[in-house]
Amino acid sequence: MNRHSRLLFLLLLLLAPASGQVADPPWRFTFKKPEAAWSGTSFDDRDWKTGPGGFGEPSTPDSRVATLWRTSDIWMRRTLTLDTVPARPALYLYHDEDAEVFLNGTLVASFKGFNGRYQSFPIKEVFHSLLKKGDHLIAVHCSQTTGGQFIDVHLIEEGQIPKLPQPAPPVPPLVKNKMITPWGEKVTAQNAWQEYPRPQLKRDNWTNLNGRWNYAITRKSAPKPQTWEGEILVPFAVESKLSGIQKSVTPRQALWYERTFTWKPSSKHTLLNFEAVDYQATVWVNARKVGTHTGGNLPFSFDITSALQEGENTLTVKVLDATDSTYQLHGKQRLNPQGIWYTPVTGIWQTVWLEEVPQNWLSQIKVIGKTDGTVALSANFEGPLRGQLSLKAKALLNGKVVAEASGRSGELTLKIPAPQLWSPSSPTLYDLELTLGEDQITSYFGLRETTVARDQEGRLRLHLNGHPLFHWGTLDQGWWPDGLLTPPSEEAMVSDIAFLQDAGFNTIRKHIKVEPRRYYYHCDRMGMMVWQDQVSAKRRDDPPWPRLAPNPPEATWPDAPHDQFMTELKTMVDTLHNHPSIVQWVPFNERWGQHRTVAVGDWITAYDPTRQINIASGGNFFPVGDLVDHHEYPHPGFPFHFGKGGRFDDFVKVVGEFGGHGFPVDGHLWNPDARNWGYGGLPKNKEEWIERYRESIRRLADLKKQGIAAGIYTQTTDVEGEINGLITYDRRVRKLKPETLRKIHLEAGIIADQSKSKVTRSQ
């Protein structure tokens, strides 16, 4: 290595030995503002963290991130030893955003905004005298406000642009903090999700398998482990606090579960039910494979009768989870959680249970209730006498039978006299009893119709039971600091719904997550309307985002992942169809994974004509479905000008996301060292935050007068780095009381009165 090359090595901290590249020497760095003398040579930085450059988020374009940086600011220091003084010194750096560079305590350069790529910047001649042979301190401060973030700084000889090595992407550690909800504090192996998980098809003979299971993490292709790493609390994912584990599982690994249960022989069939396993599950009973399932968000079952033995039985589950590294539908999960992306969830995350059914049983029912009291009932049968047994149905209200029907085809019609309709202000539910031979189940239904119709000005509005109703709700992620995707308890889940209802909201947009089925039962009984999103796949090859502009692009998906997308979409619609609270399906969010839009829209419109279809909330607009949905932050708006030529005339106009006003509450942050953020920057104080909220509501009220039929505020709670919730992530602080929110909504004209929806059924 010649003298000039050695100088570049020392100045650039680059690697070019013949034997191969090595990593950059590390920096000292901190995310907390240091003392004023931090950039000087006498400052003691031994308490700072150590890590290689560059610093930032791996998603920042053309960056080379070796150390994660997610806070608003970073301060960095590193000592360089010069054998030779460069004749034309320059800085070679990529900054996102504002950056200051100090040499031996003197500010030699400052940069505003971001440059988006590596560039060379000559050091002013007035500072050349700072460079001499020997040790020199280079110190850097970078400040970031929004979007991507990255900082990497090198001292070079002007014109000698180095080829920087590409470090391996850093693996983000799981955030292991003390944040836990009041309900999470009470969770035990004995009380973890003991409720019957399927309220609309309920049997008496069932066994809950939640509790302590053995677990292990192995290579993806490894056989079943011979020894277990410990016990995990099911149904909480391995990454969650409540699981008792808090470990990551990569796409190259497998997560294994095992437990035993007892069984006594009988003439009945035994079904093994999983409410949700993320993402690919293979199941064995007594070492006999009983089935596989792909899809991380919906229930599935296996008939395991032939694999059972009298006495003790062993249940084994293997799970693979690629998260966001394929076309897999992963929602808000990311292997590298940041910003609007959250901690990955792997494995069992909803209830596992056994149930006994007779030789002939009901496997599925579909109920469509109309405002005239007509109830169309379809049932699927299993067993050797399928189609030969008579199905009997009884509808009851307040314990009194109001209608009956029977037949062998599985297609029945009930006629309810003097029908009492389901709505947010009166969420009436009828009980339903079904009998097929020895199989007896209980269920329920609501009578309601959701349609669209024009107002006096000719603008399309959303209607419920023939009357216009402004859908006013929040974006609801359904995430928890202790359980991640899994609520810590049913009581916790209901608490969020009740808060929103008390605040005057009548709608929840369930954002790219499918909740446990009991969640929708509570929305049914409490009178909370739901816009239900399909779980999405956000990918690098997502199309550009012109939103509602004409001639939009869309992604091109291969047949196999598209078919899986449709399988999961159909399963979601089938699973949740009977819930009267669900008034709208949302197949795509924004343009995340948006593909074959018209084909998907045509299919779901025909498959479920009882609800509105919002084909791509905030996404690229295609003329299919019922709504045209725009997202705008922080304050709501709508690009009416894109509707020229009648493009939007046959579609209900809604603002599917707005707001996102952030307000941090000390002591209630997921990661205090991260860049906790909200749309439009953070306010100076709570008063400013409240005024921002009021202004958004005033603007929404004006849009309502212009024909906007719904508004969805972001969001119910803080989630990890997002601090734009009305409630903190741990649910311990309500940033505004629900009655205060209701008053704001009333004064703006978003809601018409202060009457609250009445809960008519016990939990």
232: CB partners within 8 A, 6+ apart = 212, 213, 214, 215, 238, 243, 244, 245, 257
- Per cent of the chain over pLDDT 70 is 95
pLDDT of residue 386: 82
Residue 218 forms part of a structural domain: no
d(Cα 628, Cα 31) in Å, to the nearest integer? 43
- Per cent of the chain over pLDDT 90 is 84
- Would you say residue 544 has pLDDT above 60? yes
The answer to whether 94 and 152 have CB atoms below 8 angstroms apart is: yes
d(Cα 346, Cα 338) in Å, to the nearest integer? 18
Question: Mean pLDDT, the chain, as a whole number?
Answer: 92
Residue 351 forms part of a structural domain: no
> Per-residue confidence at 11, pLDDT binned at 50, 70, 90?
very low
The answer to whether 194 and 514 have CB atoms below 8 angstroms apart is: no
Listing DSSP states for 642-653 in one string gives: GGGGGTTTTSEE
Q: Is 233 helix (H, G, I), strand (E, B) or coil?
A: strand
Residue 6: CB atoms within 10 A of its CB come to: 12
> Per-residue confidence at 71, pLDDT binned at 50, 70, 90?
confident
Residue 285 forms part of a structural domain: no
Q: Which amino acid is at 194?
A: Q
In which element (H, E) is residue 688 found? helix 686-705
d(Cα 392, Cα 432) in Å, to the nearest integer? 10
pLDDT of residue 753: 67
Q: Which of 137, 157, 177 is the C-terminal boundary of a domain?
A: 157
The answer to whether 527 and 423 have CB atoms below 8 angstroms apart is: yes
> Per-residue confidence at 24, pLDDT binned at 50, 70, 90?
low
Q: Which domain holds residue 419?
A: 366-445
Report the number of distinct structural domains present in the chain.
2
Tens-digit pLDDT profile for residues 672-712 = 878 888 999 899 999 999 999 999 999 999 999 999 999 99
Residue 240 forms part of a structural domain: no
d(Cα 352, Cα 287) in Å, to the nearest integer? 18
The CA-based dihedral angle spanning residues 40, 44, 50, 53, taken in that order and rounded to the nearest 10 degrees? 0
Tens-digit pLDDT profile for residues 274-286 = 999 999 999 999 9
Residue 80 forms part of a structural domain: yes
Residue 301 forms part of a structural domain: no
Q: Which of 391, 420, 445 is the C-terminal boundary of a domain?
A: 445
What CATH number should be reported for the domain holding residue 104?
Answer: 2.60.120.260
Residue 111: CB atoms within 10 A of its CB come to: 18
Residues present in the chain in total = 763
Residue 152 forms part of a structural domain: yes
- Would you say residue 8 has pLDDT above 50? no
The answer to whether 365 and 393 have CB atoms below 8 angstroms apart is: no
More confident of the two residues 344 and 20: 344
- Would you say residue 563 has pLDDT above 50? yes
pLDDT of residue 18: 31
pLDDT of residue 14: 35
Instruction: Name the pTM for this structure.
Output: 0.85
From the list 157, 177, 175, 171, the residue with the least C-alpha distance to 51 is: 171
Q: Which amino acid is at 730?
A: D
More confident of the two residues 759 and 256: 256
- Would you say residue 20 has pLDDT above 90? no
Which range (152-166, 209-223, 372-386) has the least confidence?
Answer: 152-166
- Would you say residue 273 has pLDDT above 80? yes
Q: Which of 392, 416, 445 is the C-terminal boundary of a domain?
A: 445
> Per-residue confidence at 523, pLDDT binned at 50, 70, 90?
very high
Residue 382 forms part of a structural domain: yes
Q: How does DSSP classify residue 202?
A: B
Mean pLDDT of 174-185: 88
Angle 651-653-659 (CA atoms, 0-180°, nearest 5)?
155
Tens-digit pLDDT profile for residues 287-315 = 999 999 999 999 999 999 999 999 999 99
Look up residue 499 and give its two tokens.
Answer: 């808060």
Q: Where does 52-112 show beta strands of DSSP type E?
A: 55-56, 67-68, 73-82, 89-96, 98-103, 106-111
Look up residue 632 and give its two tokens.
Answer: 């705008």
- Would you say residue 657 has pLDDT above 60? yes
Tens-digit pLDDT profile for residues 156-167 = 999 888 888 888
pLDDT of residue 80: 87
Place of tokens 């309900």: 183
d(Cα 254, Cα 169) in Å, to the nearest integer? 21
In which element (H, E) is residue 397 found? strand 391-397
How distant, in Å, are the alpha carbons of 141, 212, 480, 548, 669 from that of 663?
Answer: 25, 38, 18, 30, 11
The answer to whether 80 and 10 have CB atoms below 8 angstroms apart is: yes
In 258-353, which ranges are continuous DSSP H helix? none
What CATH number should be reported for the domain holding residue 426?
Answer: 2.60.40.10
d(Cα 285, Cα 81) in Å, to the nearest integer? 65
